Amino acid sequence: MGRVSVKNISRIFTKKEENGGTEALHDVSFDVEDGEFICLLGPSGCGKTTLLRITAGLETQTSGEITLNGVPITGPDPKRGMVFQQYSLFPWRTVIDNITFGLEMQGISKTEAKKQVEKYIDLVGLEQFKNSYPYELSGGMQQRAAIARALANEPEVLLMDEPFGALDAQTRNILQDELLKIWEQKHVTFLFVTHSVDEAVVLSDRIVVMTARPGRIKEIVTVDLPRPRSRTSPEVNRLRDRVLRLLEEERFHR
Amino acid sequence: MSFIKKIEENGIEVLSLVVAVTIWQIIADKVIHNKFLLPSFYDVISSFFTIVKSGLLFTDILTSLLHFSIGIIAALVIGIPLGIAMGWFKKTNRAIDPIIEILRPIPPLAWIPFAIVWFGLTHQAAGFVIFIGMIFPIIINTYTGFKNVPKVYVEAAKVLGCTRNIDLIRFIAIPSAMPSIVSGIRVAMGVGWMCLVAAEMFGVSDRGLGYQIWHNYYLHRMDVVLVYMLLLGFVGLLIDRFFRHYVDAKLLRWTSGTVV
């Protein structure tokens, strides 16, 4: 189960020279249902990545609280998996050794861990490359392996920080479709940061649109379209248009 | 066909060596005519075989390798943990860095008097001088490697459940810093080899390749001096090759995709 609840989160970054500092997030609150697919969307610098990192436990909030199933988040935990925008596979480990890393940290033996992660390697279609080193893989394959590595810990929430941002448009589309398949099979709550309206509309149940800095919630858009979604159907385009207009308002606000 | 091809492949290197040796032989034998100023290639080779027959050669090589081993083991055992502690914990770095910055510019050979005073004319004394020469490159490269561990690997490890410092160091920082640590060890081995010769020359030892150079200089046997010089070069080369081969195959296989 993975119910995330964000309550009145604010984050101020302080620098020594500056007084007061920069406010990245201002009083953000929303709830995520178990198994829901949520996209965080907003102009760059709106604090969406910061919010995700606080949820991961890699950063701390200035005030407010995020809970997972009612328990406040204080630090990183394998229950909350994360996929980064940069390629984050450990280059000194092969694909399979990357994917077993989380299980090894739980004290499971390497042979046992390898058996357990087999299904995740299958799930992301990397059977052929499991003994390759990351440098031998394309960007898309590296992100697939990173997703498998996060899934291997069987997290309740999967946090994704623009995981497809560095990929070309076609690979991106393919991975989006694959990610949805994984989501349907695995029943994991997804929090997905993106700056792409297309991506948000194709993927999510709800889109949390944020304002320019300091980031607040501008609007939460429910995407009420059946999956699989066509990328070009009139409904999708209408929704895209609506979200784009929201973002555009933000641009002129500044 | 394949024989000709082989000559073509390796020919230039071999030819260049042959020409160099020939020129050396001609100059020594026909121009200088003085075994003391410049022994010829032939002199050197025949002295080499005399030394091999006497059995001294192996004792000297083994003695030098013993000195070198004492130095490198001590430098690794002390240098790598120090570099790790400095690279991972900021406060440790602040505490140790000033001491290192003061000690580091002192040339290792300046430690020879204290090496003798502290250890006497022992293998440990020679090993100590080599240790001084090797430890700083090892500390500094380990430290640099640790400083440059990409943040994303540490964060990825943390969200995968690897949160204790000791685990992060063991599973993330050490492997990530390995290329830097290894290159520090290679630099250190070069410096250590130089210190070895100097330490043995200055009487810290009464055996070893460096000692023999100085000893035979007193005996005016410059051909033997040259034998030991060449031996130092070859043994040093072998150690470096062996190390590189081992490291590339075992420790750094994952870097073969990157440009070094």
Is the pLDDT confidence value at B260 over 50? no
The answer to whether A210 and A242 have CB atoms below 8 angstroms apart is no
**Residue of A84, A106, A150 lying closest to B152 (CB–CB):** A84
Work out the pLDDT band at A254, boundaries 50, 70, 90: low
Is residue B159 less than 8 Å (CB to CB) from chain A?
yes
A152-194 pLDDT tens trace = 999 999 999 999 988 999 999 999 999 999 999 888 999 999 9
Work out the pLDDT band at B56, boundaries 50, 70, 90: confident
Is the pLDDT confidence value at B55 over 90? no
Q: Who's near A142: CB < 8 A, 6+ residues apart?
A: A87, A89, A134
A10-41 pLDDT tens trace = 999 887 766 678 889 999 999 999 999 999 99
Number of CB atoms found within 10 A of residue B139's CB: 27
Q: CA B40: distance to chain centroid?
A: 28
Specify whether B13 is located in the same domain as B83: no
Using CA atoms, how far apart are residues A53 and A67, in angstroms rounded to an integer? 14
Among A87-96, A221-230, B91-100, the least confident range? A221-230
Does A150 sit within 8 Å of B254, measured CB to CB? no
State the pTM of this model: 0.86
pLDDT value at residue A23: 86
Specify whether B129 is located in the same domain as B54: yes
Using CA atoms, how far apart are residues A124 and A151, in angstroms rounded to an integer? 10
> Considering all CA atoms of chain A, what is the largest pairwise distance in Å, rounded to the nearest integer?
57
Is residue A107 less than 8 Å (CB to CB) from chain B?
no
Specify whether B139 is located in the same domain as B29: no
Q: Is B155 domain-assigned?
A: yes
Number of CB atoms found within 10 A of residue B41's CB: 18
Residue B69 is part of a domain; what is its CATH number?
Answer: 1.10.3720.10
Residue A180 is part of a domain; what is its CATH number?
Answer: 3.40.50.300
Number of domains making up chain B: 2
Q: How many helices (H) and strands (E) does chain A have?
A: 8, 10
**Residue of A80, A81, A92 lying closest to B254 (CB–CB):** A92
Work out the pLDDT band at B242, boundaries 50, 70, 90: very high
Is the pLDDT confidence value at B85 over 60? yes
Specify whether B103 is located in the same domain as B204: yes
Specify whether B80 is located in the same domain as B159: yes
For residues A120-125, average pLDDT: 90
The answer to whether A11 and A79 have CB atoms below 8 angstroms apart is no
Q: Pick the residue from chain A with its C-alpha nearest to B158.
A: A76
Q: CA A249: distance to chain centroid?
A: 25
Specify whether B210 is located in the same domain as B163: yes
Using CA of residue A227, residue A232, residue A238, residue A240, what is the dihedral sign?
positive
- Report the residue of A59, A87, A92, A97 to disrupt the B interface, i.e. the one with the largest count of B CBs within 10 Å: A92
Specify whether B205 is located in the same domain as B79: yes
Residues of A in contact with B257 (CB under 8 A): 133, 135-136
pLDDT value at residue B7: 66
Average pLDDT, chain A: 91
Specify whether B172 is located in the same domain as B243: yes
Note down the domain range covering A223. Answer: 4-253
Specify whether B219 is located in the same domain as B129: yes
Q: Is B258 domain-assigned?
A: no
Nearest chain A CA: its distance from B152 CA (Å) = 6
Q: How many helices (H) and strands (E) does chain B have?
A: 11, 0
Q: Is B162 domain-assigned?
A: yes
Number of domains making up chain A: 1
The answer to whether B200 and B126 have CB atoms below 8 angstroms apart is yes
For residues A247-254, average pLDDT: 76
pLDDT value at residue B259: 44
Q: Is B54 domain-assigned?
A: yes
Specify whether B17 is located in the same domain as B41: no
How many Cβ contacts (< 8 angstroms) between chains A and B? 76
Using CA atoms, how far apart are residues A69 and A83, in angstroms rounded to an integer? 21
Residues 195-234 of B with CB under 8 A from A: none
Strand partners, A38: A191, A206
Q: Who's near A209: CB < 8 A, 6+ residues apart?
A: A41, A42, A217, A218, A219, A220, A221, A243, A246, A247
Q: Who's near A172: CB < 8 A, 6+ residues apart?
A: A164, A199
Residues of A in contact with B163 (CB under 8 A): 75-76
Its ipTM equals 0.91
Q: Is B108 domain-assigned?
A: yes
Is residue B34 less than 8 Å (CB to CB) from chain A?
no
Is residue A102 less than 8 Å (CB to CB) from chain B?
yes
Specify whether B19 is located in the same domain as B66: no
Does A105 sit within 8 Å of B162, measured CB to CB? yes
For residues A198-205, average pLDDT: 93
Number of CB atoms found within 10 A of residue B163's CB: 16
Is the pLDDT confidence value at A228 over 70? yes
Specify whether B24 is located in the same domain as B42: no
Q: Who's near A104: CB < 8 A, 6+ residues apart?
A: A110, A113
Note down the domain range covering B218. Answer: 37-252
Nearest chain A CA: its distance from B141 CA (Å) = 19
- Report the residue of B148, B151, B160 to disrupt the A interface, i.e. the one with the largest count of A CBs within 10 Å: B160
pLDDT value at residue B251: 79
